[in-house]
Structure 1
Amino acid sequence: MNAIRMIQVASGKGGVGKTWFSVSLAHALAGAHRRVLLFDGDLGLANIDVQLGLSPRHDLGDVISGRVALAEAIATYRPSSMGGAEAGGSFDILAGKSGSGVLSALTRPEIAGLAAGLAALSGTYDHIVSDLAAGLDQSVMSLCTNGGVTIVLVSDEPTSLTDAYAFIKLLTMQEPGADIRIVVNMANDRDHARRTHAALTNASRNFLGIEPSFLGFVPRDDMVRDAIRHQMPILFRHPQAKASEAVRKIAGEILTLSARNPRPPEIATRPA
């Protein structure tokens, strides 16, 4: 397998923690000394900047309007310790523009141009993590055709599973052979996560002829809500939390899958 540069995070359904997971995964990969770009692909309802307490100078709205080039809209997130010193695990962000009708109404050629721009940036980064919008509209599907791996984040709620199945069905129709992997969020334990994955895999095998792999799970953890409330990555605010350990493990799996790093480096358990 080629190095996994492009990582799309999708869900089909909203409310399963997709943006939180995308932020946490980007931070975990950055903590493993990878150059990472986190792209807010939720066109029109972007909120990565809100989760991280950022006010970037430029965003995708400026790119689409032609005011700046795609690369010029990139900002760097640097976690800081209580004393203001940089805490390590920095990564770049390409922010969206929440509530922008312009972004939510992009034409197919404009979306294709955005996807091509991201692909061009992949030579600068080890990984580009794209936080895609919930749903099945054309912008979501177009941003899933950049290769790499598509992570489908699900919970055990029936609506999450049915919407995830619909997403997988549409993606495999559009991109046969797409590398789709499942992460179960808010699981009670590993057995619970495996049962949730099995329910989705059984439907995919029976009706689509594919079996998306289990990439990992994130357990229920009250520290997640606390980190979001304080607009900080959980790996920085609560590095020893169960959810933090789970995301680091998933990041390690991604590194293992990447041919560029057959033996992934150890991911730090706390900020440097």
Structure 2
Amino acid sequence: MNRDQASQLRKRMQNLQHQLQQQEHFCPIIGIISGKGGVGKSVFSTNLSIALAQRNKKVLIIDLDVGMGNIEQLIGQTSLYHIDDCIRDHLPLTEAMYKGPGSLTYIPGGSGFEEILEINEQNLLYFLNQIESIKKSFDYVFFDFGAGVSAQMLPFMRAVNQLILVTTPEPPAMADGYSALKLICSDESSHDVFCVINQVSSFSEARETWQRLASTARRFIGIDPKWLAALHHDSAVVDSVKQQNPCLLRFPRSKFSADVHSLAANFLDNGQITAPKEVHSIFYNRVLHYLKFTRR
């Protein structure tokens, strides 16, 4: 092998190593949504994150349920800083990053987040750059959005890598869940959408609910929501919420906890996302794109 060939080989190896490093640090942002309140979205987010942490995955929950954040209440902790404090004062998001039970890592929501991003482009860019920075330390980042779809949060919902819709078999919850997907999954956006059917009495009820929702979404929106999990109605969940201790930790042998562990395994098997080819973050660029799109 001559000197030129050796140099070209080293260059190819360096490029390959760089690509592998990019893939190694790729961290998908996954939006967790619901059409209406009361379907157990934040309970789901919290317990799934703990289940993934128990499988040696590094997961961060960012509570974007603006003004109605539940993560702190669900785990019985209070926080000095919230996400809107960091954006307003341009503090690192790590200042508002806390450890919860079960190796849970979270950033609590605040009451002014939407207004801060809406009126100040510098705050928006600061937030996006902070997300890019902290993603490097995690395998998954969950955005726990508020119920429904607000105009301010819509660009962020459209920009995530994946969506997980949490709903129940009740017709109002299904209708609102479908409406949320219809608003988010426009012709300009593309998502892998997964469904979690919560508070079910049987597995067959959950599958029937998903099939009806997926069929309607395919017909009228042109998307194909994938099955992720059924979560059975369980009094242990109610008790764990009252005790401010996640069900997975307080009642590890409950039916709900077994469902969540099964869900976590299914998520890791079927919910993986390959690293993007773009050098810059898909999420970063798509947020900016959809903000401009919605403000025309």
1:190 CA displacement: 0.9
* 1:167 aligned residue: 180
* 1:105 aligned residue: 115
1:95 CA displacement: 0.6
Is 2:92 the partner of 1:69?
yes
* 2:146 aligned residue: 133
Q: Is the 8 A contact 1:8 1:144 kept in 2?
A: yes
Task: Extract unaligned runs of 5+ from structure 1.
Answer: 80-88, 261-272
Q: Is the 8 A contact 1:171 1:178 kept in 2?
A: no
Distance 2:51 2:77 in 1: 19
Give the RMSD, CA atoms, in angstroms. Answer: 2.0
Q: Residue deviations 1:139-176, cap 9 Å, x none? A: 33222244332100011111111111111111110653
Q: Is the 8 A contact 1:40 1:132 kept in 2?
A: yes
Q: Residue deviations 1:87-127, cap 9 Å, x none? A: xx302110112xx2x22434444456535532432211011
Counterparts in 2 of 1:180 and 1:222: CA distance versus 1, 3 Å: same
Secondary structure of the structure 1 residue equivalent to 2:236: helix
Normalised to the residue count of structure 2, the TM-score between the two structures is 0.77
Q: Is the 8 A contact 1:119 1:146 kept in 2?
A: no
State percent identity of aligned pairs.
29
Distance 1:207 1:51 in 2: 36
Q: 1:28 aligns with which of 40, 44, 51?
A: 51
Secondary structure of the structure 1 residue equivalent to 2:186: helix
Is 2:68 the partner of 1:45?
yes
* 1:158 aligned residue: 171
* 2:34 aligned residue: 11
* 1:243 aligned residue: 256
Matches within 5 A, 1:113-262: 113-173=126-186, 175-257=188-270, 258=272
Code of the residue aligned with 1:72 in structure 2: it is: E
Higher helix share: 2
Distance 1:141 1:26 in 2: 23
Distance 1:165 1:90 in 2: 33
Structure with greater contact order relative to length (CA < 8 Å, sep ≥ 6)? 1
Distance 1:94 1:30 in 2: 16
Counterparts in 2 of 1:67 and 1:229: CA distance versus 1, 3 Å: same
Task: Extract unaligned runs of 5+ from structure 2.
Answer: 1-22, 275-296
Code of the residue aligned with 1:244 in structure 2: it is: S
Distance 1:163 1:112 in 2: 31
Secondary structure of the structure 2 residue equivalent to 1:61: helix
Q: Residue deviations 1:47-73, cap 9 Å, x none? A: 211111111221113112216221221
Secondary structure of the structure 2 residue equivalent to 1:135: coil
